[in-house]
Structure 1
Amino acid sequence: MHITVAGLGVSGSSAARALAGLGAHVTVVDGGDGDKQRAAAAELAERAATGGPSDTGGEGRGAGITVRLGDGDTLPEGTDLVVTSPGWKPDSPLFTAAAAAGVDVVGDVEIAWRLRGPDAAAWLGVTGTNGKTTTVRMLASILEAEGLHTMAVGNIGTPIIDVVLGQGKDGARPYDVLAVELSSYQLHWAPSLRAHSAAVLNLAPDHLDWHGSMQAYAADKGRIYEGNTVACVYNVADKATEELVRAADVEEGCRAIGFTLGTPGPSQLGVVEGLLVDRAFVENRQKQAQELAEVSDIAPGSGTPAPHNIANALAAAALARAFGVRPAAVRDGLRAFHPDAHRIQHIADVDGVSYIDDSKATNTHAAEASLAAYEHIVWIAGGLAKGATFDELVQKSAARLRGVVLIGADRALIREALARHAPEVPVVDLDRTDTGAMSRAVREAARLAEPGDTVLLAPACASMDMFVNYNKRGDAFADAVRELTARDH
């Protein structure tokens, strides 16, 4: 086949190498033609085992791979299939041209699904507006505690094509099951995906510029339930996730399994007196409940888990139980789990004030969950709003706010929401978007905070106006907190 791969990022390069290795003629197209793209093209050519890119016209050729830079709109002649990287919008000119030519467009997840062998590992899928990575990593930890050979893959960073094609290769033990994080972009381009079991953690407006509407965004998230064989896991507190289950076309016998922070009903997992309990995968779910773990087992050593992380743990436990994992493995896996950096990460206590880095809270839904975890907060917020509004977030969180420090390009939107719904809360508006602004923000937050308070970085915005990514933003916050500690000592 002649396959066009859209995008020279991690997933695009992975797809190009894999498809060329299977004998396809691959052309990679990318609208950029800068140093970053040329370096990626050179690496792709090198890894394809023939020299570097040519010196002419922004094109390079590896073993069965041609790279075309500076033109991401034109469909290469003779293309049989387009494989897109997740971020390319559905209305991209390349895809319009493909549709006109009768050429299918799919994503890397779809290709991985099609390339599975007859004895391939089961897929346990996780999607949602927030919490995907944490839940997938919790799930992988639980599966490992059961003694299963597993891996957290997909949107979490490891290209799933590489994992699928490498299963059992060179004598390696094949995977028993994969914990697969799936974004709405990936699901949009994966029409054939049929998971063993899957969860939608929550739904809130996000990436609407890509999907075009909340309805389209939710529909793409709901694709994860299509064809499930054992369990569709939904959030009892988020009715939209249950509606997606009701709309899904699943295999006969597949069950709807809810998770809740309250007392679970039949076919649900929930919390009773500090215990995670299962009333779904027990012999008599009308009358029985199985203890799985204590709430304190969730990432012990990280402090009291935030409510949304308890919910994440319940979702991970539900998927693991759907796969037949024993209760003890749920407990042991949650105990072994360590959260990634910048996700409700405790940095330090200074003068009785706790400093928490949740730079990963890049939208209002994530920030709301983060703010709900603490009683008295000095909130550091702002960045790129991505079209979001902040009135509902401020209304729900106003009673917890001791003060607010605003940074970033779209901070005025948050300032105006605070003026409408929390006019009594002191606000420091830093008219800066340089990276050094974080140090000033932390100092101002420290001035507003009282002993017993939490200074919380939960920006509710993307980071790219000031930082390369949310990781760098969180690092800057941690460095600024350490400056406070050093100064105090």
Structure 2
Amino acid sequence: MSGQPEESDRLAGLTHRDADWAGLRVLVTGLGISGFAAADALLQHGAAVTVVDAGRGGERQEQQAGILGILGADVRRGEDHVASWPDQLEVDLVVASPGWRPDHPVLAEAVSNGIPVWSEVELAWRLRPNIGAAPWLAVTGTNGKTTTVQLVETMLRTAGLRAIAAGNVGTPILDAVQHPEPYDVIAVELSSFQLHFTHSIEPLASAVLNLAPDHLDWHGSLEAYASDKARIYERTHVACVYNVQDKATERMVEEAEVQEGCRAIGFTLGTPGLSMLGLVDDVLVDRAYIEERATSAAELGTLADLELASGGEATPPPHLVANALAAAALVRALGVPAELVRDGLRAFRTDAHRTAIVAQSDGLTWVDDSKATNPHAAEAALAAYPDIVWVAGGQLKGADVDPLVARHADRLRGVVLLGVDREQIAASLARHAPDVPVRDVGVADHGDMDALGVLMDDVVSSAADLARPGDVVLLSPAAASLDMFPSYGSRGDAFADAVRRHLGIAGEA
């Protein structure tokens, strides 16, 4: 775990928004979405807030710094303010933005001096109302988190509940818990970064979807990464949902300290056993939340109910089915009826940049899977097509791409590489696919969208040169985007725009 210092009596008493927050001295690290939301919330509750940030966030963060300054925060921007503990600053608490590693000098100094560190998720939990707070359905995992919480949100709304997907998915969790029109339920996506400094949340139900090496540069080891993921199960009330096909998630449940009466609920792409959800032929079924589970199962829907979510494909991809089963397990813990789960499946549409078809022309299919920000996420897309021109590269974050390349070498018609860690992928290709032609288009400056547009034009023209009729040109980078792009979404948009320019259909939606 994180070696969290013991909290003072005052901090221990801050368990809801009506507690005594006035005058609490708080250092917020980082002025991104999470940091701004944390500072703003603390100021609203009367805390004395100092914010430190490297100052590289551009015009938006300058505006946010100005807003916080008007509200009374002490905002310190620039590299000198984040290189070490701020001079002559005494605080009761540090709230860390998720991008800050635990070994950052400011955070390490706080811990060594006995100052507690919270994530913005921990702060959000403690700023819920004292009475009537919305329960949390919490989701983590290496891949599939966003799709799963969006499925949960859709199922809950179909059931007539006021619900939102929040956390690592777009809406800051602090904004969700403080919304003037309270939610009935919150589906919370949690990254390992957010979980690292989270200590007291009590989800109604929680899930770890899968575990694969990722963010090892941040956590230091797979064991530390897994330990932070496992935090989501702690203190869960009703159901700890795990992946039957991923034994690491089951071990996490076995080792978790949960509330009395909490159950372990598995999901599987096979036939489910007791206390599991799974597949029988093409039917999604529940053998966990019905009284007659020893002898029967409740039908939750069919694979055909996911047809629109999978872009009109008659057979949805396995990862989507697994996410749907996990989401169903979470909402069933809340008591959502089986028929409303089915209606949620029918209503759901997948997020952009996940195996999204950009265009089909001259026998080629162009696919945007920019959301594949690690090798495990790229696995599903590479397995889905027989003949691929693969567009890959970016920040590998310490992950090993070698097994992915070895498994799918025989599917590769050609490869186009970009980004800071492209040489590692090139080395794997030389070992496992030495006869596959590789084009290296290099790297462009972060955030320079004109230069990135030129780079993507080079990517697309290189891919077109390598492809043959019937091939799929697949942007599935197996790496994060932040070496060059503001987000994986902007990377996918740049690819799609370049494809349209190449095909002469620029401007189409």
- Fold similarity call, TM over 0.5: yes
Q: Which residue of 1 aligns with 2:110?
A: 98
Q: Which residue of 1 aligns with 2:202?
A: 194
CA distance change for structure 1 residues 99 and 380 in 2, over 3 Å: closer, same or farther?
closer
Is the contact between residue 199 and residue 315 of structure 1 (CA under 8 Å) also seen in structure 2? Answer: yes
- Paired residue for 1:298? 306
Matched, 1:65 2:73: yes
The corresponding residue for 2:485 is 467
Inter-partner Cα distance in structure 2 for 1:147 and 1:196: 19
Q: Provide, for residues 123-158 of structure 1, a one-character-per-residue CA deviation record: whole Å limited to 9, x for no partner.
A: 000001111111111110011000011111111121
Q: Which of 214, 218, 223 is the equivalent residue of 2:226?
A: 218
| 2:182 counterpart of 1:159 | no
1:122 matched residue in structure 2: 135
**1 CA distance for matches of 2:372 and 2:495?**
14
Deviation of 1:41 after TM superposition, in Å, equals 5.1
* 1:453–1:282 distance in 2 versus 1, CA, 3 Å: farther
1:8 to 19, 26, 31: 31
Distance between the aligned counterparts of 1:429 and 1:88, measured in 2?
31
Q: What is the one-letter code of the residue matched to 1:213? A: S
CA distance in 2, matches of 1:33, 1:225: 36
Cα distance change, pair 424–198 in 1 and its aligned pair in 2 (3 A): same
Tell me the residue number matched to 1:334: 345
Distance 1:158 1:468 in 2: 17
Inter-partner Cα distance in structure 2 for 1:217 and 1:294:
35
Cα deviation for residue 432 of structure 1 reads 5.8
2:155 aligned to 142, 163, 179, which one? 142
Distance 1:100 1:384 in 2: 31
CA separation of 1:427 and 1:45: change in aligned 2, threshold 3 A: closer
Q: 1:43 to 1:387 in 2, by over 3 A?
A: closer
After TM superposition, the structure 1 = structure 2 runs for residues 417-432 of structure 1, keeping only pairs within 5 Å, are 417-431=428-442
Deviation of 1:363 after TM superposition, in Å, equals 0.9
Using the TM superposition, give the Cα deviation of residue 106 of structure 1 relative to its aligned residue in structure 2, in angstroms.
0.6
Q: Secondary structure at the match of 1:109?
A: helix
User: Take 1:278 and 1:246, find their aligned partners in 2: how far apart are those partners?
Assistant: 21
Q: Note if contact 1:24-1:64 (Cα within 8 Å) is conserved in structure 2.
A: no
**Deviations 1:389-446, CA, capped at 9 Å, x for gaps:** 2220012112322332222332222222122222343333435655223223223323
Q: Does 1:477 align with 2:491?
A: no
Cα displacement (A) at 1:325 = 0.8
- Deviations 1:330-351 (CA, angstroms, capped at 9, x unpaired): 1221222222221111112112
In structure 2, the partner of 1:359 is: 370
Read off the aligned partner of 1:196 and give its amino acid letter: L
Give the structure 1 partner of residue 58 of structure 2. Answer: 36
**1:355 alignment partner, SS class:** strand
1:19 is matched with 42
Looking at structure 2, the residues matched to 285 and 158 of structure 1 have their Cα atoms a distance apart, in angstroms, of 37
Residue 58 (structure 1) aligns with: none
| Structure 1, gaps ≥5 residues long | 49-60
Cα distance, 1:42 vs structure 2: 4.4
Q: Determine if the alignment matches structure 1 residue 83 to structure 2 residue 95.
A: yes
Q: TM-score, normalised by structure 2?
A: 0.87
Could you say if the C-alpha distance between residues 285 and 464 of structure 1 is closer, same or farther in structure 2, counting changes exceeding 3 Å?
same
For residues 45 and 442 of structure 2, the distance between their equivalents in structure 1, rounded to whole angstroms, comes to 54
Query: Is 2:399 the partner of 1:388?
Result: yes
- Offset of 1:221 from its aligned partner? 0.3
- How far apart, in 2, do the equivalents of 1:393 and 1:243 lie? 25
Separation in structure 2 between the aligned mates of residue 85 and residue 317 of structure 1, nearest angstrom: 31
Q: Does 1:486 align with 2:504?
A: yes
Which is worse superposed, 276-285 or 228-237?
Answer: 276-285
Given that 2:443 and 2:484 are in contact with CA atoms closer than 8 Å, whether structure 1 keeps it comes out as: no
Is the CA contact (8 Å cut-off) linking 1:350 and 1:484 kept in structure 2?
no
Q: Residues 237-283 of structure 1: CA distance to partner in whole angstroms, max 9, x if unpaired? A: 21111111111011122111111122222211112222222121222
SS of the residue 2:178 aligns to: helix
> What letter matches 1:4 in structure 2?
L
Amino acid of the structure 1 residue aligned with 2:289: F
Q: Which residue of 2 aligns with 1:55?
A: none
CA contact (8 A) 2:98 2:119 kept: yes
Percent identity at matched positions? 56
Letter in 2 for 1:109: V
CA distance in 2, matches of 1:235, 1:175: 28
The AA in structure 1 aligned to 2:478 is A
Count of residue correspondences = 468
* Equivalent residue letter for 1:208: L
**What TM-score does the superposition give when structure 1 sets the normalisation length?**
0.90
Aligned counterpart in structure 1 of residue 355 of structure 2, from 336, 344, 347 = 344
The CA deviation string for residues 8-54 of structure 1, in whole angstroms up to 9 with x for no partner, is: 11111111111111111111122x245738x63543443x5xxxxxx
Instruction: Give how far 1:4 is off.
Output: 1.3
Matched residue of 2:474: which SS?
A: strand
CA distance in 1, matches of 2:459, 2:107: 44
Shift of 1:316: 0.8
2:416 aligned counterpart, secondary structure: strand
Q: Counterpart in 2 of 1:52?
A: none
- Decide which moves more: 337-346 or 90-99: 90-99
User: Which residue of structure 2 aligns with residue 54 of structure 1?
Assistant: none
Aligned mates of 1:226, 1:100 — CA distance in 2: 25
Q: Is the 8 A contact 2:216 2:399 kept in 1?
A: no
- The amino acid across from 1:303 in the alignment is G
Do 1:198 and 1:228's aligned partners in 2 also have CA atoms closer than 8 Å? Answer: yes
* Helix, strand or coil at the partner of 2:341: helix
Alpha-carbon distance in structure 2 between the residues aligned to 1:41 and 1:444: 39
Give the letter for the 1:3 counterpart. V
Q: Which moved more, 1:145-154 or 1:5-14?
A: 5-14
Equivalent residues of 1:23, 1:64 under 8 A apart:
no
SS in 1 for 2:384: coil
Deviations 1:213-249 (A, max 9, x none): 1111100000000011111111112111111111101
Q: Structure 1: which amino acid aligns with 2:456?
A: M
Does the Cα contact within 8 Å between 1:353 and 1:451 map onto a contact in 2? yes
Q: Deviation at 1:486?
A: 2.4
Question: Compared with structure 1, are the counterparts of its residues 280 and 452 closer, same or farther at alpha carbon in structure 2 (3 Å cutoff)?
Answer: farther
Structure 2 CA distance for aligned equivalents of residues 188 and 437 of structure 1: 36
> Which residue pairs with 1:403 in the alignment?
414
2:215–2:398 CA contact under 8 A, matched in 1: no
Q: Secondary structure at the match of 1:203?
A: coil
Most deviating of 381-390 and 181-190? 381-390
1:235 pairs with 2:243:
yes
CA contact (8 A) 1:45 1:65 kept: no
Could you list the runs of 5+ residues in structure 2 that have no partner in the other structure? 1-23, 445-450
Cα 1:443/1:12, change in 2 over 3 Å: same
Q: Is the 8 A contact 1:8 1:41 kept in 2?
A: no
In structure 2, what is the equivalent of residue 307 of structure 1? 318
CA contact (8 A) 1:17 1:44 kept: no
Range with bigger deviation, 2-11 or 372-381: 372-381
Give the partner amino acid of 1:478. Answer: A
The verdict on how the C-alpha distance between 1:35 and 1:81 changes in structure 2, with shifts beyond 3 A counting, is closer
